[in-house]
Amino acid sequence: MKHLNRSFQEKLGIRGVHAYTEDDCRFLPWTEVVAFLNKLPEGTDPEFFERLLTTLANYNPDTEFLAVQRLKDTVSIELYSLQ
């Protein structure tokens, strides 16, 4: 998880999503997340789309980090906060 922590530190204060797997992390700023979601095939779970956009719009990028983890066939939306 060092790659995720490093991404958090490097992107503090920037609104976006840290998309990560066990081995890699890629930061997507707001505009790239929206562009990616718009390219998803029709029939993609609308709840996932809505939840991700709502969280992206409402978290505080100065004290919180939004991450999306892909593990095999599942994707999770995670919100982390500085203490």
Cα 19 off chain centre by: 5
Secondary structure (DSSP) of 8-74: HHHTTT--EEEEE-SS-EEEEEHHHHHHHHHTSPTTS-HHHHHHHHHHHHHS-TTTEEEEEEEETTE
Model confidence, pTM: 0.87
Per-residue pLDDT of the chain (83 residues; tens, 9 = 90+): 899 999 999 999 999 999 999 889 999 999 998 888 888 777 777 888 899 999 999 999 999 999 999 887 788 999 999 87
pLDDT at 10: 95
Structural domain range at position 52: 2-81
